[in-house]
Structure 1
């Protein structure tokens, strides 16, 4: 039965794949190779499988390349947005600081004007009191003069001609005096009315200045609130990033300030209290400036710390993590002091932070290896490279090419062995990479 089935299969195959003969001719003889239907079928199936595998592998590599390019572009966009946000906050900070200074100057001018108005008002009040006192004196004198005039007229009617002439002269003198006093009294009354009017205008000006002062205080409070919110929102992810990496932000900032060598230096308070107690606005403004200074120090520390990925293209897969594992050569538990990234031979390896190359060459176990010393007691190590593109003593920046992925040294396949040391002690590099995932 099996022979009959095989015969039927062979017959069916011959309809579509007839037997072929391949002749091989040499100088002394001619030979041929017989290609039976089953053999042709196996060759077709194998060729089709090979073509299918080639197509699938090419598609996977193409998709991985596109994904890596997308991740790289997204990282660049996020970094550009972060830098743009820092620049915008810095510009807004400078603008708000200038507005605060101008507002303080306007407020000081308003206070000076109020002080001058109060001085004039007090002077007008004193003048008004003096005028009222003078008016009372003039009125009393006028009453006494009128009384003397009436008495003089009565005496003039009963006296002789000589006496009458003398009394008439006295009356004329009295009338002239009354006219002078009446004129002075009218002038004093007019001055009093002008002083009252000036006092009313001064009160209105003071009320307007006080309203302007309240509006200015409300505007300054809104500006300070926006700046404080911006500083808080920008500081939280940076502070969280350093804490998750196991680094004390306060100690880190102290080290940055001690070693700061960039132009400009840390921000300092722009408002001088001139030896007096600072106002609430001055305290808030200086607190905002301190926040911007802290954020600027964070930015410097982030550039000098290994928070980036040594293979930013993303064309890799993690094959071994940090910690104890089974030794791939001899078995048994052994501490793995870094993480392994597997990828294509020759994949570019980038520096994860600014630093100085302290080792670059062959090292037992690591093969071709590069070691970089960073600030704050940090070091990074890149092992099993195929090529090294830096030399000892060279200064490198984050993202600079330092080597290519390879299989040198004690290695079972093409990969990068990556280590991070803090104070000479190895730590998990993924702690730094994950801590920065929400910032960069």
Structure 2
């Protein structure tokens, strides 16, 4: 039987019975019921932990450890992807640009995987979503690494080819500067000393004593070594990449047909053979069959001051020696 509660009424100087509202009664009942449920819920959790078998505890620890490893793997994939993105940026904007190769478009670098659902076998597990995402990230990263690896292989090939090209392009004086008496004639219209007509001089004339050594100005292959009516004793060298050099009026030839020469190799000696009026070397550079001004190809042999002086001398008027 529920206890009856009273309160003292000062107005009537008597005790009155406390009337309990039904709504308050219901509220108390509901709160009491909820409190019982909460106590039962937490009690069940504590009890389940207490009665959990060693195998179940081991499985729980294994799952927690797996989740931790998945989180770490996801972080490492993100870091590796960031490093790869930086390498791809340098590859496109520095390496490939330097070697005049087209950049690899993002569509090729980051292309996805088509076809059937390759990750369907990973569905149905507690961590399926994360596992599928990690597997997809690893696949994308692996594909990008393959593309980047092939690009770097191509860069290495281009670098070797560039090195070969730079070694082949004529880049030094065919006669040492200390051996020159003077530079007699440059690349321009001149009065021919024998024909007595204005004729375009396709090369440069370097005056030097007979017997002064003449050197190959770049790596290449000797394609002609012999005599001609105009050039006397002459040597032609094919350097590849469209370049050819001619060394004329030699007194003696050292290089032979088919010989492979390197920049700086001795190929003959200054002379006065052929259509020539004085001992000198007539030197020409051709690119794709067209003559070029040799003054632009001495960057590997002259200081800025020496180059300026030679350029000024090449522009002076006068007749050539051949």
**What TM-score bracket applies, with the shorter chain setting the length?**
0.5 to 0.7
Pick aligned residue for 1:369 from 213, 234, 252: 234
Between the aligned partners of 1:196 and 1:301, the Cα distance in structure 2 is 65
Q: Unaligned stretches of 5+ in structure 1?
A: 1-183, 240-248, 251-272
**1:392 corresponds to which residue?**
257
Q: Unaligned stretches of 5+ in structure 2?
A: 1-47, 103-111, 115-138, 304-322
Change (3 A) 1:356 1:220: closer
Between the aligned partners of 2:245 and 2:224, the Cα distance in structure 1 is 11
Change (3 A) 1:283 1:356: closer
Any idea what the Cα deviations from partners look like across 1:360-399, whole Å, max 9, x if unmatched?
A: 3332232322223443454321112222212334343332
Note if 1:206 corresponds to 2:70.
yes
**2:286 corresponds to which residue?**
421
**2:128 corresponds to which residue?**
none
Between the aligned partners of 1:435 and 1:287, the Cα distance in structure 2 is 31
Between the aligned partners of 1:190 and 1:376, the Cα distance in structure 2 is 77
> Which structure carries more strand by proportion?
2
Pick aligned residue for 1:297 from 161, 184, 190: 161
**2:307 corresponds to which residue?**
none
Between the aligned partners of 1:435 and 1:398, the Cα distance in structure 2 is 11
Change (3 A) 1:340 1:197: same
Post-superposition offset of 1:334: 0.6
**1:287 corresponds to which residue?**
151
Change (3 A) 1:216 1:367: same
Between structure 1 and structure 2, the one with the greater Rg is 1
Is the deviation greater in 212-221 or in 382-391?
212-221
Note if 1:341 corresponds to 2:213.
no
Between the aligned partners of 1:185 and 1:204, the Cα distance in structure 2 is 22
> Which structure carries more helix by proportion?
1
| 2:210–2:279 CA contact under 8 A, matched in 1 | yes
Between the aligned partners of 2:279 and 2:113, the Cα distance in structure 1 is 67
Change (3 A) 1:374 1:190: closer
TM-score, normalising length: structure 2? 0.54
Post-superposition offset of 1:335: 1.5
Between the aligned partners of 1:312 and 1:397, the Cα distance in structure 2 is 16
Between the aligned partners of 2:256 and 2:61, the Cα distance in structure 1 is 87
| 1:368–1:387 CA contact under 8 A, matched in 2 | yes
Q: Secondary structure at the match of 1:279?
A: helix
Q: Secondary structure at the match of 1:309?
A: coil
| 1:224–1:285 CA contact under 8 A, matched in 2 | no
Change (3 A) 1:377 1:231: closer
Post-superposition offset of 1:341: 1.8
Between the aligned partners of 1:281 and 1:437, the Cα distance in structure 2 is 45
Between the aligned partners of 1:297 and 1:382, the Cα distance in structure 2 is 26
| 1:231–1:292 CA contact under 8 A, matched in 2 | no
Change (3 A) 1:320 1:299: same
Any idea what the Cα deviations from partners look like across 1:3-56, whole Å, max 9, x if unmatched?
A: xxxxxxxxxxxxxxxxxxxxxxxxxxxxxxxxxxxxxxxxxxxxxxxxxxxxxx
Any idea what the Cα deviations from partners look like across 1:172-215, whole Å, max 9, x if unmatched?
A: xxxxxxxxxxxx99755665554433332322222222233333
Change (3 A) 1:373 1:217: closer
Note if 1:382 corresponds to 2:279.
no
Any idea what the Cα deviations from partners look like across 1:222-252, whole Å, max 9, x if unmatched?
A: 566667777368x36xx6xxxxxxxxx99xx
Post-superposition offset of 1:342: 2.4
> What RMSD, in angstroms, separates the aligned Cα atoms of the two structures?
4.2
| 1:228–1:288 CA contact under 8 A, matched in 2 | no
| 1:310–1:351 CA contact under 8 A, matched in 2 | yes
Pick aligned residue for 1:410 from 255, 275, 279: 275
How many residues matched? 223
Q: Secondary structure at the match of 1:398?
A: coil
Between the aligned partners of 2:50 and 2:71, the Cα distance in structure 1 is 32
Q: Secondary structure at the match of 2:73?
A: helix
- Structure with the bigger RCO (C-alpha within 8 Å, sep 6+) is 2
